[in-house]
């Protein structure tokens, strides 16, 4: 059961087509839209500002979202937030990606289809133009993204769309086995079979 908490009579909203892992924590003014994925141990604290995940966004394991009172922290459609990233009072544009362990601070705006590199620190108020590669601590715009880099990002986000469906369909809490089965199926093979059955 997902850990969902109301505060001051404001309750999180999770669309029925979204998947939120049972170990994630949602507090207060959190809105999780259609086809979103929220990973294990993610913490979305809407106890001050509002947190919004638009359709197809993913927030991966151990990510944190929070904001100051009166602010909105928003991930637009197909936004992709990598493992361990922290978003605080910022705006992530459509189809943008924030890499693993990156931090995006208050009032920062990440433009559509941009990529913030892993471990980058985006300072408060920074405006990142669309289709930019952002690196470093403090972060700076390095250059415009290449088509192959954008295609790589889109592929990764599609995998999380599929993971949302797989998780809703088949993820269950179980007891661990005590030994490896002789004909053990690989997850990648199971993914392929699942995709075939959908067609």
Mean pLDDT confidence for 36-54: 98
Where residue 187 falls among pLDDT bands split at 50, 70, 90? confident
Say yes or no to pLDDT of 71 above 50: yes
pTM of the model: 0.93
Say yes or no to pLDDT of 169 above 80: yes
Per the structure block, which two tokens stand in for 141? Answer: 């715009």
Residue 25 DSSP symbol: E
Mean pLDDT confidence for 17-32: 98
Say yes or no to pLDDT of 85 above 60: yes
Range list of β-strands (E), the chain: 3-5, 13-14, 19-20, 25-32, 37-38, 43-53, 58-59, 64-66, 72-75, 80-81, 86-88, 91-92, 97-98, 103-104, 109-110, 115-116, 121-122, 127-128, 132-135, 140-144
Say yes or no to pLDDT of 76 above 90: yes
Say yes or no to pLDDT of 146 above 50: yes
CA–CA distance, 99 with 122 (Å, rounded to integer): 11
Say yes or no to pLDDT of 63 above 60: yes
Say yes or no to pLDDT of 140 above 50: yes
Mean pLDDT confidence for 151-164: 97
Where residue 5 falls among pLDDT bands split at 50, 70, 90? very high
Where residue 103 falls among pLDDT bands split at 50, 70, 90? very high
Q: How many CA atoms lie within 13 A of 102 on its CB side?
A: 29
The reported pLDDT for the residue numbered 190 is: 65
Is 2.160.10.10 the CATH number for 3-144? yes
**Ramachandran class of 157: left when φ > 0, alpha when ψ lies in -120 to 50, beta otherwise:** alpha
Where residue 199 falls among pLDDT bands split at 50, 70, 90? very low
Q: Residue 4: beta bridge partners? A: 26
The reported pLDDT for the residue numbered 128 is: 98
What's the mean pLDDT when you consider all of the chain? 95
Which of 47-51, 135-139, 174-178, 189-193 shows the lowest per-residue confidence on average (mean pLDDT)? 189-193
């Amino acid at each position: 059961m997902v850990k969902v908490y109301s505060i001051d009579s404001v309750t999180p909203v999770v669309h029925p087509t979204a998947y939120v892992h049972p170990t994630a924590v949602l507090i207060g003014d959190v809105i999780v839209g259609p086809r979103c994925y929220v990973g294990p141990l993610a913490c979305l604290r809407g106890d001050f500002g509002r947190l919004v995940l638009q359709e197809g966004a993913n927030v991966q394991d151990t990510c944190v979202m929070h904001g100051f009172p009166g602010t909105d922290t928003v991930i637009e459609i197909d936004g992709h937030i990598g493992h361990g990233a922290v978003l605080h009072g910022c705006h992530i544009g459509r189809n943008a990606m924030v890499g693993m362990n990156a931090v995006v601070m208050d009032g920062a705006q990440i433009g559509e289809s941009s990529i913030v590199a892993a471990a980058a620190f985006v300072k408060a108020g920074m405006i990142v133009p669309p289709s930019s590669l952002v690196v470093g601590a403090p972060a700076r715009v390095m250059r415009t993204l290449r088509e192959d880099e954008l295609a790589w990002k889109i592929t990764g986000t599609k995998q999380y769309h599929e993971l949302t469906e797989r998780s809703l369909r088949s993820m269950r809490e179980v007891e661990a086995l005590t030994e490896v089965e002789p004909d053990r199926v690989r997850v990648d093979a199971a993914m392929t079979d699942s995709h075939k059955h959908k067609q």
